[in-house]
Chain A
């Protein structure tokens, strides 16, 4: 029996795109709980994007291929549901925000998804105001997409998805087009959404250091298989992570090196500030 808290479950899942003989995902067993903030990492071409597309049903409904095993989202088999039906449960934010904004204004774009699911005018109005406020983009409401910066576009893309009130938010390399400062702001926003609304979030991101403060779980994928999964704090100190092309944040690498020199810390410090405090405490 599955518990209620388990919102995404992969059971002995494998997939290969049609025309390809090697499976892109092999024997995936995975469960993600409601409210988790999951960081999905791995080298390019390891199947991260494919894994994400299995959750919202783009696979198998838009892409053909050999589909084995089961993917269960919010208690329902993904292969029995259409992508547009799943859209109210799973929000998907793609890498390039430009290709996710269809309409001439921010407002119209947010409304687009809500009209698709056939909501009444009042309900659309309520959700529109809520999402503009939640993402801090009220001032962009009537702007056309070409007047927005990349960071703003990314927020609008999320707004359009969030307005559908999904339980799960998936983001495929959302900060790849953003400068470091905007990227950090954006990740903090995700952390806030996770805490405030209990949204389950799954993010593919190469800059792990951005996420160490907000994510609680991590999945490392390599050649289509899960090599590590579990709590971020546990996994991140594993020295083998480097083997899989995962860029361990310098502050963690430093702690690992110190451990080699027999300087042991009881805890793993995920950011420089906390680690500095600990060092100061020890030195004094």
Chain B
């Protein structure tokens, strides 16, 4: 099951892309995402996908990126078949499918190369309300903790004779109820303890919360950003003005 998430989960790695300012990574990823939304010919998608995979290769996450795409292939095929069945022609169905792949892979660039920590910094630099940032940070922080809770509950219910992987599909879904209820209860208790600890650490003390961390563009960040915008402009010129 866990390999599904692999295409979206950050791993500590070293590459040119990883070491960029997270804001630059966000801009690159986001602009590719937008371009994927607006592209409409096979030629455009070839260039876009080439660019995306080149970025993937540069940041050494190509293997995990292809894993996500392989996983999403079921959806791609579904989209393709449904489009054909509804009566669109072959080219259009291919384009829609390509768009789906481009959207997924372009957004995964950011998530594969930026740690949750960096995401936190990006949100701070965007001056989002701290309550929102904190909610996000704790949500990500407690995913492994709650996963561990779930494993423990599954084990303990199994040791009482609960057979989770038996029966028809509906029975199997029902089997998870004795796991979900204690998990929810445990998470609620955990959140109460969290609230106590937050209050005790002066959360919400001052309207003017300071930030110890600030992001600084380095020369390399500026260079990459310039290069990126030049390529984007070139792409737009090629496609929309010269109708290539």
Q: Which A residues have a C-beta under 8 Å from some C-beta of B?
A: 53, 56, 58, 61-62, 82-85, 87-88, 90-92, 94, 96, 98-105, 108, 111-121, 124-125, 145-146, 160-161, 164
Inter-chain contact B201/A112, CB cutoff 8 Å: yes
Number of interface residues of B (CB under 8 A): 32
Question: How many A-B Cβ pairs are below 8 Å?
Answer: 105
Q: Note all chain A residues with C-beta closer than 8 A to B203.
A: 84, 116
Inter-chain contact B116/A146, CB cutoff 8 Å: no
Inter-chain contact B209/A113, CB cutoff 8 Å: no
Inter-chain contact B205/A118, CB cutoff 8 Å: yes
Inter-chain contact A62/B195, CB cutoff 8 Å: yes
Q: Cα distance A83–B195 when bound, in Å?
A: 11
Stretch in B54-62, B80-88, B137-145 with 4+ CB within 8 Å of A: B137-145
Closest to A94 in B: B197
Q: Is B210 an interface residue (CB 8 A)?
A: yes
Q: Cα distance A135–B190 when bound, in Å?
A: 26
Pick from B144, B145, B205: contact of A116, CB under 8 Å: B205
Q: Is B6 an interface residue (CB 8 A)?
A: no
Q: Cα distance A121–B204 when bound, in Å?
A: 18
Inter-chain contact B117/A116, CB cutoff 8 Å: no
Q: Cα distance A53–B117 when bound, in Å?
A: 32
User: Shortest distance in angstroms between B216's beta carbon and chain A's nearest beta carbon?
Assistant: 13
Q: Is B202 an interface residue (CB 8 A)?
A: yes
Q: Note all chain A residues with C-beta closer than 8 A to B209.
A: 115-116, 118
Given contacts A103-B137, A108-B117, contact A119 B210 (CB under 8 A): yes
User: Shortest distance in angstroms between B129's beta carbon and chain A's nearest beta carbon?
Assistant: 14
Q: Is B200 an interface residue (CB 8 A)?
A: yes
Q: Is B2 an interface residue (CB 8 A)?
A: no
Q: Is B221 an interface residue (CB 8 A)?
A: no
**What 1/0 mask marks residues of chain B from 172 to 211 whose CB sits below 8 Å from any chain A CB?**
0000000000000000001001111111111111101111
Given contacts A84-B204, A111-B212, contact A98 B196 (CB under 8 A): no
Given contacts A103-B137, A124-B212, contact A116 B206 (CB under 8 A): yes
In this complex, which of B116, B140, B203, B204 has the most chain A Cβ atoms within 10 angstroms of its Cβ?
B203
Given contacts A114-B212, A119-B210, contact A102 B198 (CB under 8 A): yes
Q: Note all chain B residues with C-beta closer than 8 A to A112.
A: 201
Given contacts A84-B199, A113-B201, A116-B203, contact A121 B190 (CB under 8 A): no
Known pairs A53-B196, A102-B194; list 4 more (Cβ under 8 Å). A87-B199, A99-B197, A115-B209, A117-B205
Residue pairs across A and B with Cβ atoms less than 8 A apart, 16 shown, are: A58-B199, A58-B200, A87-B199, A88-B202, A94-B197, A98-B145, A102-B141, A102-B198, A104-B116, A116-B206, A117-B202, A118-B205, A118-B210, A119-B210, A121-B210, A124-B212
